Chains A and B, each alone.
Chain A
Amino acid sequence: QLVESGGDLVQPGGSLRLSCAASGFTFSSYWMHWVRQVPGKGLVWVSGINGDGSITEYADSVKGRFTVSRDNARETLYVQMNSLRAEDTAVYYCGRGNYPYSVDIWGRGTMVTVSS
Chain B
Amino acid sequence: QSALTQPPSVSGSPGQSVTVSCTGTSSDVGSYNRVSWYQQPPGTAPKLMIYEVSNRPSGVPDRFSGSKSGNTASLTISGLRAEDEADYYCSSYTTSATYVFGTGTKVTVL
Contacts and interface: CB of A to CB of B under 8 A. Distances in A.
Interface residues of A, number: 23
Interface residues of B, number: 26
B57 A42 contact: no
Given A42-B89, A42-B103, A45-B91, A103 B48 contact: yes
Contacts of B64: none
Given A35-B46, A106-B45, 18 more contacts: A33-B99, A35-B101, A41-B104, A42-B103, A43-B101, A45-B91, A45-B98, A45-B100, A57-B97, A57-B98, A93-B46, A100-B34, A101-B93, A103-B38, A103-B48, A104-B48, A106-B47, A107-B45
Interface of B: 1, 3, 32, 34, 36, 38, 40, 45-48, 51-52, 55, 57, 89, 91, 93, 97-104
